[in-house]
Amino acid sequence: MAVQLRRSHRDLSWDASTEAPRQYYTFAHPPCELVLDSGQKLGPITVAYETYGQLNAAGDNAILIAHALTGDSHVASHAPGEREGWWEPLVGTGRAFDTSRYFVVCSNVLGGCQGTTGPSSPDPKTGRPWGMRFPVITIRDMVRVQRHLLDYLGVRRLAAVAGGSMGGLQVLEWAVTYPELVEKALVFAAPGRISPQAIAYNEVMRQAIMLDPAWQGGDYQPGQGPARGLAVARMLGMITYQSCESMNRKFGRAFRGRIPTDYFSFQGQFEVESYLHYQGQKLVRRFDANSYLYLTRAMDLFDLGLGRGGYEEALKHIQARTLVVGISSDILYPAALERELVEDLRRVGVEAEYVELQSPFGHDAFLIEFEQVGAIISDFLWKG
Amino acid sequence: MAVQLRRSHRDLSWDASTEAPRQYYTFAHPPCELVLDSGQKLGPITVAYETYGQLNAAGDNAILIAHALTGDSHVASHAPGEREGWWEPLVGTGRAFDTSRYFVVCSNVLGGCQGTTGPSSPDPKTGRPWGMRFPVITIRDMVRVQRHLLDYLGVRRLAAVAGGSMGGLQVLEWAVTYPELVEKALVFAAPGRISPQAIAYNEVMRQAIMLDPAWQGGDYQPGQGPARGLAVARMLGMITYQSCESMNRKFGRAFRGRIPTDYFSFQGQFEVESYLHYQGQKLVRRFDANSYLYLTRAMDLFDLGLGRGGYEEALKHIQARTLVVGISSDILYPAALERELVEDLRRVGVEAEYVELQSPFGHDAFLIEFEQVGAIISDFLWKG
């Protein structure tokens, strides 16, 4: 996993039926480690990524797509029969992110657990997993890593950066950190700095993980991590990604079990409880608990103004044409925060637009309402 | 605590400076146990309560006030210098609940841990705490216990029943279960049945408690319970009792600790995190974890229609003039649910009114916005 594939970006064609679509790039070998926001150095860093379409000779038809908290580089499948990606209907020939026109890149974030260096990666000094000795990272650090990857791939300018939720935070960070590289910024369900309410949810999720005795201060063996704690964290996450209305529609007060026997016992479960437990268990199979701690902390720390002389000063850096999409029923990053962001952007002279996605599905709507999302993306990308 | 004070209700006068205001009534001695909704029998049951003002000769000037999840019978102080109650400015001579006119009763709920029988009480068969062997109870069971207390106190009719959140659920249950006894029902921030989203939050809180190894299946020694798990549950509860806006106002992104040293470590805390941890610790000192499990489950099970031929059929029972107060910023029991309740009540012919409390403070506004709440109560009680 940590092995650098020594192929140049000119050698990206492959047959999906015979080769895994995920590729790896390793950089920041000592003594040239990456300097993080914290001042700590980290290296070598491996980044897992997937690409779609072809980079043009000028290197300026690339679109970077950034994933959300538990997402990964698999934004779409590369060939029929392959596992579907999280924005499957939006990436491909003739789709919103048209791969006959654009070179689409999606990488797993720094601190993650899907092939990119994170707390479950081996600390080169000891050979053992970093655990909680991994440095605290920021959204800006994730973006720095993506920048290195794009340089390696030969990308000279981004036609667009796009993403939702934690992906949207990365988009904003890209537009502020590398203004000259980003032509268009497409932000779904993400504010310019994280609200105390969102920090509060994150802290409760972290506490649930650390409450599980199997967490052991982060030094668990692979496959023996705090499964129950991570599942509880995910259960809470899932509530904040949905809405009162969507849960009413989906579950109502339906009860799994016999009434009255189970109804009046702690054995019985409402459908909504059963669903949350299922989602919790499902995440445990594919996600690392320490990564969950580091990535939620990176979100808490997200504030475009940090170290830039304040929030407004930071926004002034942005040169990209920016589209911010709020979701009408979002309880995690309420639409009001995205409207506020657009007002703030306009006040400092950034060319920013606001669109509200009308949906009962809450925060996750950007992963569900493909028709609306696709239309919004297409419109924005085709605009002069 | 479990000792019955063998005083009649005609002997209620006492001197607050020399006597504890909390009183106890024990009933349902075997073989006359209370039959619960589950069909299980429970007895003896002790109920802790406090009263304010004097019952009139007709026994019809009583107001029952029902408390919320972690509240108790101490709705107000009885004398200067005494600890303030949770609706302190609203109960007393000349106040909204005017004790020169009304006899106010507030009791700790069945399943609670402030003197009324609950999972921390001794199981009479073994002498040891019930723990998770305590029967699952419902809001209706709580109301049945209150009915016994009021009979004992000589109350023949309730001029009003009032309460918010879990207290509001009890008010609705009173109006449906004993329609002939309730003249006015005053419901703050409570729906006619619990939403799947609220069940979901409750389940995450329960899982946090049960995740704590100190929980030990509920068989912990007094003072050695799952303090960390209960604190995490409370932290989540506190988020749902507030709102995005109130947290923005109160905490913003203020950070406790040194930047950058603590900012880029898991040691540092945002103010909002520090506040939640403080609230978690505070609850642990006064609340029993098993009670938290039982009371949240009682809320989940709350559905006025259960065992009554459906929701609409249940609402038809209500004879009380009913006022339902929604809170504009409530994220736990959103105002839309209370508006819906009033529409449903009117559809079946109940004399119901809706008032919306305008407040940024979220669900807890009924415990904060005393001026608005007081005016609403006074208006409603004085109405023909």
List, for residues A67-87, the tens digit of each pLDDT value: 999 999 999 999 999 999 999
Are B305 and B317 contacting, i.e. CB atoms less than 8 angstroms apart? no
- Chain B contact for A31 (CB, 8 A cutoff): no
- Chain B contact for A166 (CB, 8 A cutoff): no
CB pair distance less than 8 Å for B194 and A37: no
Greater model confidence, A245 or B222: A245
pLDDT in tens, A318-343: 999 999 999 999 999 999 999 999 99
Predicted local distance difference test score (pLDDT) of residue B95: 98
pLDDT at B259 over 90: no
Residue B39 with chain A: CB contacts under 8 Å: 260, 264
- The Cα B217–Cα B211 span in angstroms is 10
Instruction: Identify whether A165 is a catalytic site residue.
Output: yes
Q: Is the dihedral of CA A311, A314, A319, A320 positive or negative?
A: negative
pLDDT at B3 over 90: no
Are A45 and A117 contacting, i.e. CB atoms less than 8 angstroms apart? yes
Q: Is the dihedral of CA B65, B66, B69, B74 positive or negative?
A: positive
pLDDT at B26 over 50: yes
Cβ under 8 Å to A: B residues 207-246: 207-208, 211-213, 228-229, 231-232, 235-236, 238-239, 242-244
Q: Where are the domains of chain B?
A: 9-194+302-382, 199-296
Q: Residue B13, exposed/middle/buried by CB under 10 A (0-12, 13-18, 19+)? A: exposed
pLDDT band at B20; cut points 50, 70, 90: low
Predicted local distance difference test score (pLDDT) of residue B8: 37
- The Cα A300–Cα A292 span in angstroms is 12
pLDDT at A17 over 70: no
The nearest alpha carbon in chain B to A260 belongs to B38
> Looking at CA atoms only, how far is residue B97 from chain A in angstroms?
34
pLDDT at A5 over 60: no
pLDDT in tens, A177-198: 999 999 999 999 999 999 999 9
Instruction: Identify whether B148 is a catalytic site residue.
Output: no
Position of tokens 């942005």? Answer: A318
Predicted local distance difference test score (pLDDT) of residue B196: 98
Share the mean pLDDT of chain A. Answer: 94
Predicted local distance difference test score (pLDDT) of residue A18: 36
Greater model confidence, A292 or A21: A292
Predicted local distance difference test score (pLDDT) of residue A258: 77
> Looking at CA atoms only, how far is residue B294 from chain A in angstroms?
9
Fold of A199-295: Rna Polymerase Sigma Factor; Chain: A (1.10.1740)
Catalytic residue among B121, B165, B243, B291: B165
CATH number of A9-195+304-382: 3.40.50.1820
- Closest to B306 (Cα-Cα) out of B192, B168, B188: B192
pLDDT band at B155; cut points 50, 70, 90: very high
pLDDT in tens, A96-117: 999 999 999 999 999 999 999 9
Give the count of alpha carbons within 13 A of A93, CB side only: 5
- Chain B contact for A261 (CB, 8 A cutoff): no
pLDDT in tens, B86-117: 999 999 999 999 999 999 999 999 999 999 99
Summarize the confidence of residues B303-332 as an average pLDDT: 97
Summarize the confidence of residues B128-137 as an average pLDDT: 98
Class of domain B199-296: mainly alpha
Predicted local distance difference test score (pLDDT) of residue B346: 98
Summarize the confidence of residues A222-231 as an average pLDDT: 95
CATH number of B9-194+302-382: 3.40.50.1820
Predicted local distance difference test score (pLDDT) of residue A20: 53
- The Cα A333–Cα B53 span in angstroms is 48
pLDDT at A1 over 90: no
- Closest to B65 (Cα-Cα) out of B142, B162, B147: B162
Which of A194, A253, A308 should one mutate to test binding to chain B, selecting the residue with the greatest count of B CBs within 10 A? A253
CB pair distance less than 8 Å for A211 and B207: no
Instruction: Identify whether B363 is a catalytic site residue.
Output: yes
* Helical packing angle, A271-284 and A227-241, nearest 10°: 120
- Chain A contact for B88 (CB, 8 A cutoff): no
* E strand or H helix that includes residue A327: strand A321-327
- Nearest CB to B200 within list A199, A239, A301: A239
CB pair distance less than 8 Å for B239 and A200: yes
Predicted local distance difference test score (pLDDT) of residue A50: 98
DSSP state of B193: B
CB pair distance less than 8 Å for A300 and B203: no
pLDDT in tens, A345-372: 999 999 999 999 999 999 999 999 999 9
- Chain A contact for B35 (CB, 8 A cutoff): no
Q: Can you give the pTM of this predicted structure? A: 0.94
Cis ω on the peptide bond leading into residue B21 (within 30° of 0)?
A: no
- Nearest CB to B197 within list A235, A239, A301: A239
Predicted local distance difference test score (pLDDT) of residue B93: 96
The nearest alpha carbon in chain B to A298 belongs to B264
